[in-house]
Structure 1
Amino acid sequence: MKIEELFTKARNSVEARMVFAEPIERGGLTVIPAARVAAGGGGGNGRDQHGQEGEGAGLGLTARPVGAYVIEDGKLRWEPAVDVNRIAAVAGAIVVAALWLSKRKAGKP
């Protein structure tokens, strides 16, 4: 497959359903999960000193839940997702920075 064909197929496959999942309905409540989707890619071709040609490409895709739209009694609201891992990482970074600053200040007159 040529690089141009690969990127055309990848571009054509990006749809809203990658971001918004199918609605879930239970007990008069409708939930539409949403995600942050990011994609990237690159490719190239070339020829070596012996005249041999080659080409290559790569694509990457990542998705993280960000929340859900909730429809209840005809009213729409947004419920953000809580990323516990991100909260823990930020809290850990703050603690490390505070410890580093306190050690640094303690060592100077």
Structure 2
Amino acid sequence: MTQTLSHETPVLETVRRVVENAGASRVFGEPVRQDGVTVIPVAKVSGGGGGGSGTGPAPEGQEAGGSGGGVGIAAKPVGVFIVRDGKVSWRPAVDINKIIMGGQIVLAVALLTVRAIVKARARMS
């Protein structure tokens, strides 16, 4: 049985378009200028994709086949470059979710430590 690329073409076409559109313009946003200050937003862009095809049993007289694929892209702001008076500075974006998650982890570890100390003292008495 010979398999053709005709049913794979949409997946390959999608991957080709994603690769062509990936570049610095996706990471660095359009500069914003006001009062002699230029702000250039920066993002982390990541993506992935996959695809596959296969055949399986088919009723007599029919050809088995199948294909599928997908592509995903995510962008996350990481900060801005600020250009003022010929000098460039970096201001990172603050991810409040990471701060909250870190606080929760520290609190959980502290509570478990206090619990262990209380149990150890209770056994000693």
Q: TM-score, normalised by structure 1?
A: 0.91
Q: Highest Rg: 1 or 2?
A: 2
Cα distance in structure 1, aligned partners of 2:117 and 2:56: 58
In structure 2, the gaps of 5 or more residues are 1-8
| Deviation larger for 98-107 or 69-78 | 98-107
- Identical residues among aligned pairs (%): 36
Higher normalized strand content (fraction of residues)? 1
Alignment of 1:2-81 (within 5 A): 2-50=10-58, 51-81=63-93
Q: Cα RMSD (Å) of the superposition? A: 1.4
Cα distance in structure 2, aligned partners of 1:8 and 1:105: 59
Instruction: Report the equivalent of 2:111.
Output: 99
> How far apart are 1:4 and its partner, in Å?
2.2
Q: Runs (4+) of structure 1 moved beyond 4 Å?
A: none
The total of aligned residue pairs comes to 109
Contact 2:11 2:70 survives alignment (8 Å): no
Per-residue CA deviation, residues 29-69 of structure 1 (Å, 9 max, x unaligned), is 00000011110111100011114211111111111111111
| Deviation larger for 46-55 or 20-29 | 46-55
In structure 1, the gaps of 5 or more residues are none
Tell me the SS of whatever aligns to 2:66.
strand
Cα distance in structure 2, aligned partners of 1:99 and 1:70: 42
> How far apart are 1:5 and its partner, in Å?
2.1
